[in-house]
């Protein structure tokens, strides 16, 4: 590979968009080429600077409230008569649009039929939509763990990861794969992450999926199965998966 070819591929490499064959080729080139390595490092720093320091403009609560408030008590009727003169047209539009939006997200079919991925994703979306995030709201692992243990036939590991930028917000009980499971809720910036936990026999290597714009990570370790679901980006979700796996 020439330096020119390598330079062209660097952005795709840093963005994780290069196929396996080209990645190997480029990494071989980087190994023997300090200047290209430095260029690669510069790109990573640029990317990290934007991710860390650019403002993420979350929707103002007033906007969300305005959209939510326009959902009528009987959505079917609003959908059937969106043009009714007795309804303010703007409110009707917003209501139907909102309804469609929600339905679109909930009924989208994932690429493959993977029962658990669909169940944990559905649970995550349902919890955030209905704003029923936790049954026990606490940032204290010593409050969340006993609460869950008292209600489940097992004791889920609950780690304090605030020093790594993942705040524990609480926990809830959920039902996945035909069994009661623990769901731990962490927060990073404005992103909520559900960590579903239940006991299993076997170990399992990690895997990452993307469904409907949400990222999902799952693995099994120390007799526990873990499924992580969030709209957080893949890299940071993987960081959390590693931290959860490494926690005692």
Distance CA(174)–CA(176), nearest Å, equals 7
Q: Which is nearer to another protein, 17 or 140 (CB)?
A: 17
Shortest separation between residue 163's beta carbon and another protein, angstroms: 22
Q: Give the residues lining the site for another protein (CB under 8 A).
A: 7-8, 11-12, 15, 17, 39, 41-43, 45-47, 49-51, 53-60, 62-64, 66-68, 93-94, 96-98, 100-102, 104-105, 108, 125, 128-129, 131, 190, 212-213, 231, 233-235
Distance CA(71)–CA(236), nearest Å, equals 34
Shortest separation between residue 248's beta carbon and another protein, angstroms: 30
Neighbour count for residue 20 (Cβ, 10 Å)? 7
Shortest separation between residue 64's beta carbon and another protein, angstroms: 6
With tokens 């097992």, the residue in question is 154
Supply φ then ψ for residue 236, to 5 degrees. Answer: -75, -30
Q: Which is nearer to another protein, 8 or 142 (CB)?
A: 8
Q: Which is nearer to another protein, 107 or 248 (CB)?
A: 107
Shortest separation between residue 194's beta carbon and another protein, angstroms: 13
Report residue 84 as tokens. Answer: 């009714």
Shortest separation between residue 110's beta carbon and another protein, angstroms: 9
Shortest separation between residue 32's beta carbon and another protein, angstroms: 19
Distance CA(172)–CA(22), nearest Å, equals 44
- Assess contact for 30 and 43: CB atoms under 8 A: no
- Assess contact for 210 and 237: CB atoms under 8 A: no
Q: Which is nearer to another protein, 123 or 141 (CB)?
A: 123
Residue 187 pairs in a beta bridge with 167, 192
Angle at 168 between CA 126 and CA 246, to 5 degrees: 105
Q: Which is nearer to another protein, 100 or 222 (CB)?
A: 100
> Helical H runs in 108-197?
115-129, 141-149
Q: Which is nearer to another protein, 42 or 77 (CB)?
A: 42
Shortest separation between residue 213's beta carbon and another protein, angstroms: 3
Q: Which is nearer to another protein, 105 or 180 (CB)?
A: 105
Distance CA(185)–CA(144), nearest Å, equals 10
Side-chain half-sphere CA neighbours of 144 within 13 A: 24
């Amino acid at each position: 590979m020439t330096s020119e070819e390598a330079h062209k591929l660097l952005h795709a490499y840093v963005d994780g968009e290069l196929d396996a064959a080209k990645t190997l080729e480029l990494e071989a080139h980087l190994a023997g080429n300090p200047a290209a390595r430095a260029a690669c490092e510069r790109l990573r720093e640029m990317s990290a600077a934007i991710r860390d320091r650019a403002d993420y403009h979350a929707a103002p609560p007033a906007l969300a409230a305005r959209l939510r408030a326009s959902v009528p008590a009987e959505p079917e009727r609003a959908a059937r008569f969106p043009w009714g003169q007795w309804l303010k047209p703007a409110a009707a539009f917003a209501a139907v649009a909102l309804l469609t939006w929600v339905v679109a997200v909930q009924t989208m079919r994932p690429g493959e039929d993977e029962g658990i991925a669909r169940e944990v994703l559905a649970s995550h979306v349902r919890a955030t939509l209905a704003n029923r995030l936790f049954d026990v709201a606490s940032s204290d692992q010593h409050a969340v763990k006993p609460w869950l243990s008292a209600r489940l036939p097992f004791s889920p590991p609950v780690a304090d990861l605030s020093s790594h930028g993942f705040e524990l917000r609480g926990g809830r009980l959920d039902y996945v794969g035909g069994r009661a499971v623990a769901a731990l809720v962490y927060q990073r910036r404005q992103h909520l992450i559900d960590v579903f936990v239940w006991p299993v026999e076997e170990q399992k290597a990690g895997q990452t999926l993307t469904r409907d714009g949400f990222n999902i990570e799952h693995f099994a370790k120390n007799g526990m199965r873990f499924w992580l679901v969030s709209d957080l980006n893949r890299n940071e979700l993987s960081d959390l998966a590693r931290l959860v796996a490494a926690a005692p």
